[in-house]
Amino acid sequence: MDVSLMRVRAIVCAATVFSLVVAPFAVGAASDSGGPGATASASVKKKVKKLSKRVNGLEQANASLEQQVAELEGEVGTPRPPSGPAGGDLAGIYPNPLIGGGVLTTGAFSNSIPAARVTNSTQQTVPPNTSLPLAFDTEIYDTASMHSTNPFDSAALRAPVDGIYAVTAQVKWGAAGGVTTFFTLQLLRNGSQNLWEEVEDSPTSPLEQSAATQVDLQAGDFVQAVVRQNSVGNFSIDTDSELSPEFSMTWLAPGP
């Protein structure tokens, strides 16, 4: 399109030069000739008349070409939506292409989605009739600094951004020397709001419990896994790889 415009402009320039330079020169030559005979004068007049007709024709052609140039420039300057088959990382047809298969992989998201899973390397003792937030000293993964191994804050998983999160916890109670009525596993938001509670009445130890929910959190909110038992003696939360204690939180989507 740019080459065509250049050619058209070159023709317009040539026609303009001819009309501004050649025609006046011819007219001037005719007026200055001052030939002695009527025949010479008539010949000059015919030539001037022919030149005038040619100049008029060039001027008309010039106007037509200028209009065409303006139309072409208008087409070049007007953006048009893409059309036809999509390529590269896209598939389908414009204007509604799709992301091509295999373009988005797990690696493309692993460092951007807030997610953490933690465990504890030693048994934790749970006194009777005490709600105990479980501590977690080992990070299996943490993509967004959601967990701290500081003993004063190791029980919490904290939301780094607003959104809907999936939260899970699971524990395995060890054996103990007392009679129990219940074991409880809770998920608490900000230390007080109960998000999930599982109660096992008169269980037989050892006992495995799990909790899972989805919750809308604001940046800075935290969740804890809290256990409780009402035996006359202490119970323990056993360590068992991939089973106990396990605590995770994963961002799923923006909140409502």
Q: Give residue-wise pLDDT tens across range 204-238.
A: 667 889 999 999 999 999 999 999 988 888 888 99
Query: Coil, strand or helix: which one is 124?
Result: strand
Give yes or no for a contact between 228 and 211, defined as CB atoms under 8 angstroms apart.
Answer: no
Maximum Cα–Cα distance across the chain: 144
H or E segment to which residue 140 belongs: strand 138-142
- Shortest CA distance to 163 belongs to which of 250, 104, 248? 250
Give yes or no for a contact between 183 and 203, defined as CB atoms under 8 angstroms apart.
Answer: yes
For residue range 109-168, what is the model confidence (pLDDT) as tens digits? Answer: 556 799 999 999 999 999 999 999 999 999 999 999 999 999 888 999 999 999 999 999
- What average pLDDT is seen over the chain? 78
Domain residue spans of the chain: 2-84, 112-253
How are beta strands 132-133 and 193-201 bridged, if at all? unpaired
Question: For 18-162, where are the alpha helices, taking DSSP H only?
Answer: 23-33, 38-77, 106-110
Q: Residue 186's pLDDT is what? A: 96
Q: Which of 50-54, 59-63, 67-71, 215-219 has the highest mean pLDDT?
A: 215-219
d(CA 179, CA 160): 42
pLDDT exceeds cutoff 80 at 21:
no
Give yes or no for a contact between 44 and 30, defined as CB atoms under 8 angstroms apart.
Answer: yes
Question: For the chain, where are the alpha helices, taking DSSP H only?
Answer: 2-17, 23-33, 38-77, 106-110
d(CA 150, CA 255): 29
Quote helix, strand, coil % in the chain, to nearest 5. 30, 35, 35
For residue range 69-81, what is the model confidence (pLDDT) as tens digits? Answer: 677 666 655 556 6
CATH architecture classification, 112-253: Sandwich (2.60)
Q: Residue 207's pLDDT is what? A: 84
